[in-house]
Structure 1
Amino acid sequence: MGKLQYQCSMSLDGFIAGPDGDMSWLADDSTSEGAEADASSSESSRTNELVKQVGAVLSGNRTYRGDDPNAGTEKEGGYEGQYTGPTFVVTHHVPKDSEPDVTFVDNLEKAISLAKEAAGDKLVSVLGANVAKQCIELGVLDEILVYITPVLLGDGVRLFDHPGGSLVKLEILEADKLIVHGKVVY
């Protein structure tokens, strides 16, 4: 079965969402006019490659229902509108109405099992800091993929916002430098 990989973009000051879950900072993350075309090209290429590896998404409810920086555009939805596979949403309140390709689950371990089965040999993309932290606590998170975006948000949702966790040592599995972004996979 595929790996569970927490995937997120993070501001340089450690936030994965702005105040009130604002994600608009991801819609235009170029740092200068000269870098804009290269950044857009590398961003699209990065998204294209990443979405090919994803077999299922495991998300928290706040992340699933959260702000889409591409809302109302052709890039609306997961992975700039390119992801069309199964999504498993962990929530305390399972809605009565279903949505296409979305399964709401009130138990994280059950959601993980369903997502891994659906993903087959591909990645299960874990989205949402709270779900990722719970996966770490269960010892089931295999990798953390962080795209560092050159912006300072000043406030919002931190990569891991709940103090009191235990020490987890990480090994760098992959790192590269893009023109505007850096990526580190642990």
Structure 2
Amino acid sequence: MSRLLYSVSMSLDGFIAGPGGDMLWLTDHLGANPLVDELLGDIGALLVGNRTFGGDDPHRGTEKEGEAFGGGWAGPQFVVTHRPPGDPVPDVTFVGSVAAGVAAARAAAGEKYVNVMGADIARQCVEMGALDEVLTIIVPVLLGDGVRLFEHPGGTNVKLERVHQSEVPHATNLWFRVVK
């Protein structure tokens, strides 16, 4: 059965996007990361929040714009939204709930990972008990404001167990298993 993995780049102060969902902060920090390169072959489907799907692209203005992982991955994407666009989008299925998205993405991914994209979708997966792993790529920059890696009003205590740690010149990779 597939596992749900929330993989994300994050500033040292805990933001995955800048104010207003700005992802252009990441552009200057993109670079080779063997862990991510290996992971891409293990992803069978994406579960994406609507704001992430329609948001900023760190590859804006390049030939990689609009492509998942800058064109490094292709396959089925499941976007959670209550307002799907009128025109179909290739390889994208719009679903009305996180539960429906998790089920559809798991079925499409087979034995591979479902990669979760979007902080709110990840939070909802945690609340459902569906999130299995978290890969955080910490980038050496301070943003000061924006979208947090994980936010739960009133707080919570999600226990994680580190399963891998590695470094590349421009980032530190921290991979955790969600303790259930």
Same fold (TM over 0.5): yes
Measure the CA separation in 2 of the matches of 1:132 and 1:68: 19
Percentage of matched positions with identical amino acids:
53
- Describe how 1:88-103 pairs up with structure 2 within 5 A: 88-103=78-93
- Runs of 4+ aligned structure 1 residues displaced above 6 Å come to none
Residue 58 of structure 1 is matched in structure 2 by 47
Structure 2 partner of 1:33: none
Letter of the 1:49 counterpart: E
Structure with more strand by fraction: 2
Residues 1:150 and 2:140 are matched in the alignment: yes
Q: What is the CA–CA distance in structure 1 between the aligned matches of 2:16 and 2:146, rounded to whole Å?
A: 8
Cα distance in 2, alignment partners of residues 141 and 133 from structure 1: 9
1:25 is displaced (CA, Å) by 1.5
SS in 2 for 1:28: helix
- Tell me, what secondary structure is at the counterpart of 1:172? strand
Equivalence map 1:121-132=2 (5 Å): 121-132=111-122
Give the superposition deviation at 1:161.
2.7
**1:3 corresponding residue in structure 2:** 3
The structure where helix makes up a greater share of residues is 1
Aligned match of 2:131: 141
**Counterpart Cα distance in 2 of 1:151 and 1:4:** 27
Offset of 1:151 from its aligned partner?
0.5
Shift of 1:119: 0.5
Mapped to 1, the partners of 2:144 and 2:59 lie a distance apart of 22
Tell me how far 1:141 sits from its aligned partner. Answer: 0.2
| Structure 2: stretches of 5+ with no match in the other structure | none
Distance change >3 Å, CA 124–CA 113, structure 1 → 2: same
SS in 2 for 1:146: strand
Structure-2 separation of matches of 1:149 and 1:107: 31
The match for 1:48 among 17, 37, 46 is 37
1:183 correspondence with 2:173:
yes
The size of the alignment, in residue pairs, is: 175
Structure 1 unaligned blocks of 5 or more: 31-39
CA RMSD after TM alignment? 1.4
Query: 2:51 & 2:70 partners in 1: Cα distance?
Result: 18
- Partners of 2:22 and 2:84 lie apart in 1 by 24
Confirm or deny that 1:27 pairs with 2:27: yes
Query: Normalising by structure 1, what TM-score?
Result: 0.89
